[in-house]
């Protein structure tokens, strides 16, 4: 894998770019009689492995064209590396840790999660402004399938008028979300990978050769992992084709010229060190905003957060952005570039976790609040993947080097500090380095300030955990093996908590 990470000095160039972009955006800020359609394309489980982002093994012509016609953000990050917490954040423009939706698939049981009184999902604002709101899967021939939501809080399904924007009134603008499976196409095991590859061969005439894959150094070079990564890259190719279909539909129906398309993934690749973790593989995502009267061919290198799509979309539609919103309109003429982004990992399924990070242009600081546990804690979802089984077996056989084994050792450091300019794969932890003491102290302070300033809700109560686990166990009732694994993992979580781990 070759993904480009840019760590040059940004602020002066960013400010110049902003001044030029803002001139072009002046005509984009809509009037009541000429409001653009806003279309979000949200993809599951995919990192920035697009050719326009530096990937060389595959080509993504449709997304490359979308980027060339608009603005490509090279330093976009999610505030949570798993779907439900991430989606709860971007649909409200709020940090998931602030609104209490930061535990994956939470609020499903008797203990519900309700948004703070002032906070509302973005589609409600679009509805009130006269927009038709839609959410759909793709492809969907009859266009009757509502797409993925996965929000952790209680919400009114009426905030979506329907599954497809074709049902809107004549002349009515639309705000729509198209949900794509992305990396989920390939499945979690070799059988799923191979079935998907057969499909790709039949539909496109070609597939990615596992021998062409370059794995990150923190993974074992193993045929199983190579085959999985090749299938993942084919899922990116399929996603690119779907994006081309969506754009063509807009053109065929006469909507392209007045539609702003936003392309983003909900977190990075589902892999051992990707999804659910705060390393670059888990939180660095592609973000492309294109169409309408936006400037063409712009590349933005400043740090942005995925929740910003809420504010920038309202801004493009001429809708007032609520003052409470933590998202920023990164296309506004008064936008000031961030000096850091923040991300958080909490419980995923049955696995209790508590991690926070701050990332600047050059450095990343990760705080592990549960250092007496391994990074790769027991987790039914991840442990069922052949890639994780392969890595764990290699660890137990003593075949992993120190870096590759770091996910599986019994404990982990309380703090991690990485120099992303010199160490883009986050291999060398500098937290104990005397040379980086000042940097460590500064980032500690930034993270502490963010936690306090945003009202980070932290760990969940045992009552809420039990409430959601009851639902989770019930959902596995038809598979006694998986249900047994889940029950054992829950017991482990509770035992470790009682031991102070």
Return the C-alpha torsion angle 326, 327, 332, 335, nearest 10.
Answer: 60
Handedness of CA 212, 217, 223, 227 (dihedral sign): negative
Report the distance separating Cα 393 and Cα 107, nearest Å: 35
| Residues 6+ positions from 52 with CB-CB distance below 8 Å | 60, 63, 64, 67, 68, 72
| Banded model confidence at residue 141, pLDDT cuts 50, 70, 90 | low
Cβ(460)–Cβ(344) below 8 Å = no
Per the prediction, the chain carries an average pLDDT of 92
- Domain 344-460, CATH: 3.30.1120.10
Q: Which residues are 418's β-sheet partners? A: 364
Picking from 333, 332, 329, 369, the residue whose alpha carbon sits closest to that of residue 352 is 369
* Residue 439 pLDDT > 90: yes
Query: Could you tell me which residues are beta bridge partners of residue 284?
Result: 77
The mean-pLDDT minimum among 3-17, 319-333, 366-380 falls in 3-17
**How far is 239 from 271, CA to CA, in rounded Å?**
18
Q: Is the pLDDT of residue 501 over 90?
A: yes
> Which DSSP string corresponds to 114-174?
---TT---HHHHHHHTT-EEEEEESS-TT---------SS---GGGS-BS-GGGSPTT--E
Q: Is the pLDDT at 177 greater than 90, yes or no?
A: yes
Question: Which pairing describes strands 70-77 and 284-291: parallel, antiparallel, or unpaired?
Answer: antiparallel
The CA distance from 170 to 253, in Å, is: 12
Q: Is 294 exposed, middle or buried (0-12, 13-18, 19+ CB in 10 A)?
A: buried
> Lowest-confidence range among 3-7, 248-252, 354-358?
3-7
Which DSSP state fits 361? S
**How far apart, in whole angstroms, are the C-alpha atoms of residue 161 and residue 91?**
16
Phi, psi of 224 (to 5 degrees): -65, -45
Determine the Cα–Cα distance for residues 449 and 445; give it in Å rounded to an integer: 6
The pair of structure tokens assigned to 87 is 């989606």
Q: How far apart are CA 253 and CA 131, in angstroms?
A: 18
Contact 262, 178 (CB under 8 A): no
Residue 14 has pLDDT above 60, yes or no: no
Flag whether pLDDT at 9 surpasses 80: no
CA dihedral 312, 289, 85, 354 (to 10 degrees): -100
Element (H, E) at 419: strand 415-419
Nearby residues of 41 by Cβ (< 8 Å), 6 or more positions away = 178, 180, 243, 246, 261, 262, 263, 264
- Comparing C-alpha atoms, which of 340, 321, 303 is closest to residue 443? 340
Q: Band of the pLDDT at 84, cuts 50, 70, 90?
A: very high
Give tens-digit pLDDT for 102-132.
Answer: 999 999 999 999 999 999 999 999 999 999 9
pLDDT tens profile 20-74: 444 344 334 444 347 999 999 999 999 999 999 999 999 999 999 999 999 999 9
Has residue 474 got a pLDDT over 50? Answer: yes
CB 96 within 8 A of CB 356: no
- Looking only at the bridges linking them, the beta strands covering 259-265 and 341-345 are unpaired
Q: Give pLDDT, residue 11.
A: 40
**CA-to-CA distance for 370 and 261, rounded, in angstroms?**
40
User: Under DSSP, is residue 344 helix (H, G, I), strand (E, B) or coil?
Assistant: strand
- φ, ψ at 64 (rounded to 5°): -60, -40
- Which pLDDT belongs to residue 139? 61
Q: What is the pLDDT of residue 307?
A: 98
pLDDT > 70: percent of the chain: 93
Q: What is the mean pLDDT of residues 162-166?
A: 93
Distance CA 133, CA 164 (A): 8
Domain ranges of the chain: 11-104+115-183+258-336, 344-460, 461-501
Q: What is the pLDDT of residues 183-234, one digit of tens each?
A: 999 988 999 999 999 999 999 999 999 999 999 999 999 999 999 999 999 9
Look up the CATH number of domain 11-104+115-183+258-336: 3.40.720.10
CA atoms of 11 and 85, how far apart (whole Å)? 30
Statement: the pTM of the whole predicted model exceeds 0.85: yes
SS3 285: strand
Q: Using CA atoms, how far apart are residues 216 and 194, in angstroms rounded to an integer? A: 22
pLDDT at site 142: 62
The 8-class DSSP code of residue 322 comes to P
pLDDT at residue 140, as a whole number? 57
């Amino acid at each position: 894998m070759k993904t480009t990470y840019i760590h040059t000095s940004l602020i002066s160039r960013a400010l110049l770019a902003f001044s030029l972009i803002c001139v072009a955006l002046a005509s984009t800020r809509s009037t009541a009689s000429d409001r653009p359609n806003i279309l979000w394309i949200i993809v599951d489980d995919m990192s920035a492995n697009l050719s326009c982002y530096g990937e060389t093994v595959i080509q993504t012509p449709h997304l490359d064209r979308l980027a060339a016609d608009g603005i490509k953000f090279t330093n976009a990050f999610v505030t949570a590396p798993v779907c439900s917490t991430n989606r709860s954040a971007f649909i409200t423009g709020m940090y998931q840790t602030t609104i209490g939706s930061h535990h994956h698939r939470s609020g499903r049981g008797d203990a519900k999660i309700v948004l703070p009184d002032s906070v509302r999902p973005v589609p409600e604002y679009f509805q009130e402004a006269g927009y038709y709101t839609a959410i759909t899967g793709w492809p969907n021939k009859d266009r009757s399938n509502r797409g993925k939501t996965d929000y952790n809080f209680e919400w009114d399904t009426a905030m979506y008028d329907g599954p497809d924007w074709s049902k809107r009134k004549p002349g009515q603008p639309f705000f729509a979300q198209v949900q794509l499976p992305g990396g989920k196409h390939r499945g979690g095991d070799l059988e799923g990978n191979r079935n998907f590859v057969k499909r790709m061969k039949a539909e496109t005439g070609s597939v990615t050769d596992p021998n062409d894959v370059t794995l990150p150094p923190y993974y074992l070079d193993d045929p199983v992992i190579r085959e999985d990564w090749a299938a993942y890259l084919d899922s990116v190719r399929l996603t690119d084709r779907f994006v081309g279909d969506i754009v063509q539909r807009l053109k065929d129906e006469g909507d392209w010229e007045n539609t702003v398309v936003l392309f983003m993934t909900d977190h990075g690749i589902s892999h051992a060190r990707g999804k659910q973790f705060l390393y670059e593989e888990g939180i660095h995502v592609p973000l492309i905003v294109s169409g309408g009267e936006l400037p063409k061919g712009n590349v933005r290198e400043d740090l942005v957060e995925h929740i910003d799509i809420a504010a920038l979309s309202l801004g493009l539609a001429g809708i007032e952005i609520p003052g409470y919103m933590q998202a920023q309109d990164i296309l506004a003429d008064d936008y000031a570039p961030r000096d850091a982004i923040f991300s958080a990992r909490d419980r995923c399924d049955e696995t209790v976790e508590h991690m926070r990070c701050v990332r600047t242009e050059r450095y990343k600081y990760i705080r592990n609040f549960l250092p007496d546990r391994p990074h790769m804690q027991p987790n039914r979802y991840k442990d069922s993947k052949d890639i994780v089984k392969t890595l764990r077996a290699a660890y137990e056989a003593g075949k992993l080097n120190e870096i590759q084994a770091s996910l599986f050792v019994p404990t982990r450091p309380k703090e991690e500090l990485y120099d992303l300019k010199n160490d883009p794969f986050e291999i060398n932890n500098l937290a104990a380095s005397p040379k980086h003491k000042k940097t460590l102290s500064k980032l500690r302070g930034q993270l502490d300030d963010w936690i306090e300033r945003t009202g980070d809700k932290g760990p969940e109560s045992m009552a809420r955990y039990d409430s959601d686990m009851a639902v989770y166990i019930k959902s596995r009732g038809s598979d006694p093996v998986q249900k047994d694994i889940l029950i054992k993992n829950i017991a482990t979580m509770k035992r470790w908590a009682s031991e102070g781990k």
